[in-house]
Structure 1
Amino acid sequence: MDRSPEAVRGKLQIFQKMEREAQFRAGSPELEYHAALTAGDLAHLQPLMDRFFQDPNVVFEISTDEVEWRVKSPAAFGLSGLWTLEYKRELTSPLRVAAAHGHAACVRDLLRRGANPNASPGARGALHEACLGGHTACAHLLLQHRADPDLPSAEGLAPLHLCWTTASLGCAQALLEHGASVQQVGGAGQDTPLHVAAQRGLDEHARLYLGRGARVDARNGRGETALSAACGAARRPEDQPRCLRLCALLLQHGAAPDTRDEDERSPLHKACGHAHHVLARLLLQHGADAGALDYGGASPLSRALQTAACAPPATAQRTVQALLNHGSPTVWPDALPKVLRTCAQVPAVIEVLFNSYTQLHVSEAWKEVIPEEVYQMHQPFYQSLFALAHTPRCLQHLCRCTLRKLFGRKCLHLVPLLPLPKPLQNYLLLEPEGVLH
């Protein structure tokens, strides 16, 4: 029989492998314990803890082997790279697993057995997990057993920063009742809980924080206020009604409508960049500067025009209209060919913009920047536009421009006070007609 060290080690490895396979087939206590925690099966969990896992603060490891494609360079466009087998592991505890899955009965039993509610063997603690999942009952249990309501995670986030879904409102209320700080900043962005609520469009969370003394104009690491963060987050049309309610709430609590972030962008820049015309009007009504310039020299009108082709036509037109009716400076005439190229598919935007000038020198050469298929699709409008190359604007338009210049940024407020028919008031407020005169 070969008794060399190499042979002994080889046999030992074979024996250990066979033992692991047999343990797996039979169902090891560790696997059963984790499965019972995940499922919230207290009836199965208690005998395992009584027999094998008397320590409720045991730390165990969750690991996964994943094969990932790692591209060497962003410029490679996925054409070169290598396959790597990456071993990932995460340390966790029974209390954290139970809280993450919302199993309040398991959390209660673990705490009764002496589990530490402030232990955080991994990136987050049990209270973080409960808030992240919106499990209010688990959060209450942990806080009642003296969990630290401001315990920072590995990323520097307090549990209140992880209340970022509508389901987590109860968790946020529980945290504040147990002394959580509504002013605490955390994470790479140095956000307050109010910033998180603004970024996620959580108006009820924001109302709760403001009622507890949150500073409405506190700035994060990017120089954003909650209002600025909310306006920047309203990207999808379905998110915009909720964002509008949140911004109205912030403005009611004294949020400054014209604060700038680190790029000198105001909330109005961001609202116009998403073609959120109702929000743009709300900001303008509260005194936002329609002519503000960011570090790149772009105005809110520039932002609206840049994104007009990607936005629903009516929203882009309404945004441009709102800005011009609140005194926004027009585009430099030499830049109009660029505007035509960008907004060719939304002629209503071009019409509103062109009607804000008394007179423009229209060039036949501008036709070259408009795709032929777009020109044909909107032929009546573009024919009326290029007809202006040979004729001055009509007297009615010149009167409109004179009144608008006289009213300035108060156009939207003063025009409805004029004793004029509604169609004529709409004409003064640049309502598009489909052609230029």
Structure 2
Amino acid sequence: MSSWDSPPDYPLSSDLVRRLKSALATGDKDTVQELICTEVEPVDAVIELANDDWMKEPSAQLPTGALLGLWTLEYKRELTTPLCIAAAHGHVFCVRHLLGHSADPDARPGGRGALHEACLGGHTACTRLLLQHGADPDLLSAEGLAPLHLCRTPASLGCAQALLEHGATVQLECVPGRDTPLHVAAQYGLDEHAQLYLGRGARVDARNGRGETALSAACGAATRSPDEHARCLRLCALLLRGGAAADARDEDERSPLHKACGRARPSLCTLLLLHGADAGALDYGGASPLARALQTATCAPPAAPQRTVQALLNHGSPLVWPDAFPKVLRTCAQVPAVIEVLFNSYTQLRVSESWQEVIPEDVYQMHEPFYRSLFALAHTPRCLRHLSRCAIRRLLGKKCFLLVPQLPLPETLQMYLLLEPEGVLR
């Protein structure tokens, strides 16, 4: 009989579980230690910390989420062991005590073992203790994840090092999505983990079940803070130096550049372009990196969307079809700097006064100087300086970013040639 079918040694309703959950909730380490080390018997007892089996109680008030998911008839139950609890919370004394009393380091009644829990919490000392007592470094959880796949935070670097020292397989694929530990490091922006794995022989261009390389996964991952963004940039630079293909396509034919543009990361886009990424690549939906940047411009951080568009155009990105410009205007109305950069990449684009209808009135008022300058061009040709800019850019082609800074011109003119926004159109 499996632990799922067998009644737990300490069910949710037991006095010990109530006290244990209270101690865990309040961070009372001493009480947790006392309960685990002195009251729980046997040492590998199965403890029930949660039970959402509402089917057992017909009179229970069900949350909306449960009602919406009624058809699945899910039975959720959290079973664990004293060793898993101690490892998850970094209680080294408890882990040592339990292992000294022959606790099974690979027991996983709830689907994850103690080593999984230690890695999730980034508890290096617990991880090393478990490995020293014979824990399997490649033990798969019920979800098909090895401990290395659960090293997902900067604090877990020591855990990853310990696992590899004890024989963990650096190229092991997880069951659900075939992610390797390097993919996981890329998804979470863990540059030091990635360096560790590459140093241990991880294949830089290994593909997961979605056809992604680690570089592709890193470029598509969300970053929220400047620190996360900096780590992601370092990680991608590391992967590229290690031989990662800058243009590797996933199952949707999206390149790392498509994903970086969709996240409005100008520094990352520039890095990829400098390593040969194709600014004109099309995915299965026919979208280019420029299209991805324009689609997400309004929800990007300030200045990021125009810098992304600028980088693409200075590396030879094809322009938007002129007849589609009103759609760009509608999508990017709130970020006029994007419209300015794109508009200035055309030698002459016919401006229609009807375009004003696609711009919300409050947005027009907020950015009135720019939009007045745009619609003033409805009856006026572009100035000679702009036409000269276009001629030079056409001559330099995809190498604008490289050759313009070498021209014997003042920096202000160099920036003008590279489409630096000015706030108005002339």
Please indicate the TM-score interval, normalised by the length of the shorter structure.
0.7 to 0.9
Counterpart AA for 2:287? A
Q: C-alpha separation between the residues in 1 aligned to 2:154 and 2:326? A: 46
* 8 Å CA contact 1:275, 1:307 repeated in 2: yes
| 1:333 alignment partner in structure 2 | 322
* Residue 436 of structure 1: how far off its partner (Å): 1.6
For residues 163-220 of structure 1, the C-alpha deviation after alignment (integer angstroms, 9 at most, x for no partner) is: 1111111111100000000100104221111111111111111111111111111111
Counterpart AA for 2:43? P
Counterpart AA for 1:179? G
Counterpart AA for 2:147? P
* Residue 33 of structure 1: how far off its partner (Å): 7.8
Q: C-alpha separation between the residues in 1 aligned to 2:360 and 2:325? A: 16
* 8 Å CA contact 1:202, 1:246 repeated in 2: yes
Q: C-alpha separation between the residues in 1 aligned to 2:168 and 2:353? A: 66
Q: In the alignment, does 2:331 pair up with 1:342?
A: yes
* 8 Å CA contact 2:51, 2:78 repeated in 1: no
Alignment of 1:15-414 (within 5 A): 39=29, 42=33, 45-48=36-39, 53=41, 55-65=42-52, 68-70=62-64, 88-238=76-226, 239-414=228-403
* 8 Å CA contact 2:138, 2:169 repeated in 1: yes
Q: C-alpha separation between the residues in 2 aligned to 1:394 and 1:426? A: 17
* 8 Å CA contact 1:358, 1:397 repeated in 2: yes
For residues 354-396 of structure 1, the C-alpha deviation after alignment (integer angstroms, 9 at most, x for no partner) is: 1111111111111111112222222222222122221221121
CA pair 283-30 structure 1, distance change in 2 beyond 3 A: closer
* 8 Å CA contact 1:136, 1:170 repeated in 2: yes
* Residue 29 of structure 1: how far off its partner (Å): 6.3
Q: C-alpha separation between the residues in 2 aligned to 1:137 and 1:342? A: 52
For residues 227-279 of structure 1, the C-alpha deviation after alignment (integer angstroms, 9 at most, x for no partner) is: 11111113435332221111111111111111111111111111111111111
* TM superposition score normalised by structure 2: 0.88
* TM superposition score normalised by structure 1: 0.86
Q: Which runs of 5+ in 1 are unaligned?
A: 1-23, 75-80
| 1:10 alignment partner in structure 2 | none
Q: C-alpha separation between the residues in 2 aligned to 1:33 and 1:337? A: 62
* 8 Å CA contact 1:337, 1:366 repeated in 2: yes
* 8 Å CA contact 1:183, 1:214 repeated in 2: yes
* Residue 73 of structure 1: how far off its partner (Å): 9.1
| 1:11 alignment partner in structure 2 | none
| 1:8 alignment partner in structure 2 | none
CA pair 267-374 structure 1, distance change in 2 beyond 3 A: same
Counterpart AA for 1:48? E
Counterpart AA for 2:92? A
Q: Which runs of 5+ in 2 are unaligned?
A: 1-12, 55-60
* 8 Å CA contact 2:211, 2:251 repeated in 1: yes
Q: C-alpha separation between the residues in 1 aligned to 2:129 and 2:286? A: 53
* 8 Å CA contact 1:313, 1:348 repeated in 2: no
Counterpart AA for 2:104? N
CA pair 40-111 structure 1, distance change in 2 beyond 3 A: farther
The worse-fitting range, judged by mean Cα deviation, of 349-358 and 90-99 is 90-99
Q: Does the residue aligned with 1:389 lie in a helix, a strand or coil?
A: helix
Aligned length: 402
* 8 Å CA contact 2:128, 2:159 repeated in 1: yes
* Residue 423 of structure 1: how far off its partner (Å): 0.9
Q: Quote the RMSD (CA, aligned, Å).
A: 2.6
Query: For 1:420, which of 399, 409, 419 is the aligned residue?
Result: 409
* 8 Å CA contact 1:92, 1:122 repeated in 2: yes
Q: C-alpha separation between the residues in 2 aligned to 1:90 and 1:72? A: 17
For residues 129-172 of structure 1, the C-alpha deviation after alignment (integer angstroms, 9 at most, x for no partner) is: 11111111111111111111000000000011001111111111
* Residue 36 of structure 1: how far off its partner (Å): 8.5
* Residue 35 of structure 1: how far off its partner (Å): 7.8
Counterpart AA for 1:201? G
* 8 Å CA contact 1:64, 1:88 repeated in 2: yes
CA pair 30-72 structure 1, distance change in 2 beyond 3 A: closer
The worse-fitting range, judged by mean Cα deviation, of 153-162 and 231-240 is 231-240
Q: Does the residue aligned with 1:388 lie in a helix, a strand or coil?
A: helix
Q: C-alpha separation between the residues in 2 aligned to 1:237 and 1:298? A: 28
Q: C-alpha separation between the residues in 1 aligned to 2:320 and 2:333? A: 16
Counterpart AA for 2:115? L
